[in-house]
């Protein structure tokens, strides 16, 4: 898909959104975007991240969604 195609699809989707809070979030993302490290989405980096995650699961280094939500809430509301 070309850059123009992406822009047209994004514009179309944004035009159909009536939720002001959601639009505000999109705006904030676009206004505050930061340059990503070049290797962040590289194939090798991506595969290493997947392998690490699979190893975590295999070795029991996981938490439930409920526990994750609780920890996030604690971080955001100390």
pLDDT digits (tens, 9 = 90+) for 20-74: 988 888 887 788 776 655 665 667 777 888 889 889 999 999 999 999 999 999 9
Task: Please tell me the predicted confidence (pLDDT) of residue 39.
Answer: 61
Q: Say how far apart CA 6 and CA 16 lie, in whole Å.
A: 16
Task: Please tell me the predicted confidence (pLDDT) of residue 38.
Answer: 63
Task: Please tell me the predicted confidence (pLDDT) of residue 40.
Answer: 57
Question: Helix or strand or coil: residue 25?
Answer: helix
Note whether 39 and 45 are within 8 A (CB): yes
Q: Which pLDDT tens digit goes with each residue over 51-65?
A: 898 899 999 999 999
- Give the Å distances, CA to CA, from 67 to 35, 51, 54, 61: 31, 23, 19, 13
Q: Say how far apart CA 40 and CA 34 lie, in whole Å.
A: 13
């Amino acid at each position: 898909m070309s850059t123009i195609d992406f822009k047209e699809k994004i514009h179309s989707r944004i035009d159909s959104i009536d939720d002001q809070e959601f639009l505000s979030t999109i705006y904030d993302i676009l206004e505050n975007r930061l340059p990503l490290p070049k290797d962040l989405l590289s194939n090798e980096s991506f595969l290493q991240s997947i392998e690490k995650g699979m190893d975590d699961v295999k070795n029991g280094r996981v938490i439930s969604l409920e526990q994750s939500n609780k920890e996030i809430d604690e971080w955001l509301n100390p």
